[in-house]
Structure 1
Amino acid sequence: MMICHCMSITDHDIRRAVDWMRAADRDTVITPGKVYRALGKRPDCGGCLPLFIDKLRACDTFEVPMELRGLRRAMTQGERNYEG
């Protein structure tokens, strides 16, 4: 299915890019920007981003590695200890 008409990106392209990035570095955090760069493209109008992100989330290998989950929460809670 065509996801980005401006750059001719399909759902298969997204899936292959995510699988390739995960195989290269299992701890990487995959973002839409990284997927575009992996495909050698750049977002143009941005109209596809909601569908693009849905397709990213649907990939089996997309999820954030377990050891990286909750880092933002931990940093935020640590910063609160230094206030006031």
Structure 2
Amino acid sequence: MIVCHCMSITDHDIRRAVDWMRAADPQVLITPGKVYRALGKKADCGGCLPHFVETLRACDNFEVPMQLRGLRRAMTQERHHEGRRKGN
């Protein structure tokens, strides 16, 4: 099924790119931009991105590496305790 009409990207292309990236580096954080680059293409109008991301999430090899899970939560908690207090 075609996911991106502008660049003629199919769901099969996305799955192959994800599999290739995961095989090359098991710790890679896969993003839509990296998939476009792996396919030698770039986003044009962006209308496909919701379906593109949905297709990415459905891939068997699309998962956040274990050591990167919860990273955003840890970073925001760290920032919360830094800096000046409001009274200063």
Query: Gaps (5+ residues) in structure 2?
Result: none
State, as a whole percentage, how many aligned pairs show the same letter.
75
Aligned-partner residue type, residue 48 of structure 2: C
Give the TM-score normalised by the residue count of structure 1. 0.96
The runs of at least 4 consecutive aligned structure 1 residues that moved more than 2 Å come to none
Give the TM-score normalised by the residue count of structure 2. 0.92
Q: Give the match's secondary structure for 1:55.
A: helix
| Largest Rg, 1 or 2 | 2
Whole-Å Cα distance in 1 between the matches of residues 36 and 81 of structure 2? Answer: 39
* Corresponding position of 1:4: 4
Q: Give the match's secondary structure for 2:35.
A: helix
Q: Give the match's secondary structure for 2:75.
A: helix
- Superposed CA deviations along residues 15-63 of structure 1, whole A, max 9, x for unmatched, are 0000000011111100000000000001111111110000000001001
Query: Gaps (5+ residues) in structure 1?
Result: none
Q: CA shift at 1:79, angstroms? A: 1.3
Aligned-partner residue type, residue 44 of structure 1: D
* Corresponding position of 2:32: 32
